[in-house]
Structure formats: structure tokens, C-alpha cells
Amino acid sequence: MNEKATEHRTVTIEREFPHSAEKIWRALTQPHLIEEWLMKNDFKPAIGHRFNLRGDWGGVLDCEVLAVEPHTTLSYRWDFAHDDAAYDLKSVVTFTLVPTETGTRLRVEQSGFRPDQKQAYGGAKAGWPQFLEKLEQVLTREG
């Protein structure tokens, strides 16, 4: 493992949707639509715009728009301030849209985790009972 890999980790999710990039772009950039699939927010698709994402669990993420290329790329800072450094998160989320034959492939990449951060903001805030519920869902899925 090289030095960079030990300093930062990246989560990458890809999903193909049978929808146009233009339509997915709207879901990624219009506040009332963002709220429906992600969190409550005061997002604006303008570089430098600072906004918050507010989670159901009461946590507030500090965000700043870093890149906006309509129908192609959206990137913003995704920070979660916490007094305990182990829970403090500074990361960048990048959405990339690539047209395919049948629709659009959306890649979500989140980078910036440090290996010493052992708990995600969700785990840290929600605590163990919720975690165990999630674990149960995972177990059900894994069959």
C-alpha cells in the first residue's frame, strides 16, 4: 500500500439508470429533488456555494460546491465537524454521469477518509441499536 492509499480512502459506487443524464442531473441539483433521495439541503449549482445537508438523525454536513459541469460532473465538499477527531470527517463527493446505450451510468465517489477514522458519521451519531438494525438488514440480504 503506498503512502497516499494509507492517508486517504475512497468509496466508489456505480449504478446504471434507464434515464437520461439530463434527468438525473435535475435529481442531483434541484433542492426539492435532492431532499427526496439524499437529505434536506440548501444546495445551489454554483461553484463556491456553501450549503448544508441535514440528516434524519440530526447531523448536519457542511458542504461547498467545487465543480459543476451540467449533465456531466458535480462535486462538493462533504465535511462533518465533530469535537472528537476520530469522528471528524473531511471528504469530497463527486458525481459523474456517463451516457450508456440504455441510459446513464452514475458514479459516486467519496474520498478523504483517514484510516484511523473507524466510525462513519451515521454510526457515530446513531449509536449501536441502529447499527444492529442495519446489521440485521445486511444479514437478511446476505441470506
Partner 1 sequence: MTDFHDALFRSLADPTRRALFERLCREGEKTVGALTAQAGISQPAVSKHLGILKLAGLVRDRHEGRQTHYSAQLDALAPLVDWTSEMTRFWQGRMDNLEDLLKRMDQ
Q: Which residues bind partner 1 (CB under 8 A)?
A: 9-11, 13, 15, 17, 19, 23-24, 26-27, 33, 36-38, 89, 106, 108, 110, 113, 117-120, 122-123, 128-129, 131-132, 134-136, 138-139, 142
CB nearer to partner 1: give 24 or 65.
24
3-state SS of 34-86 is: HHHHCCEECCCCCCCCEEEEECCCCCEEEEEEEEEECCCEEEEEEEECCCCCC
CB of 67 to partner 1, least distance (A): 18
Cα gap 45→37, rounded to integer Å: 17
CB of 128 to partner 1, least distance (A): 6
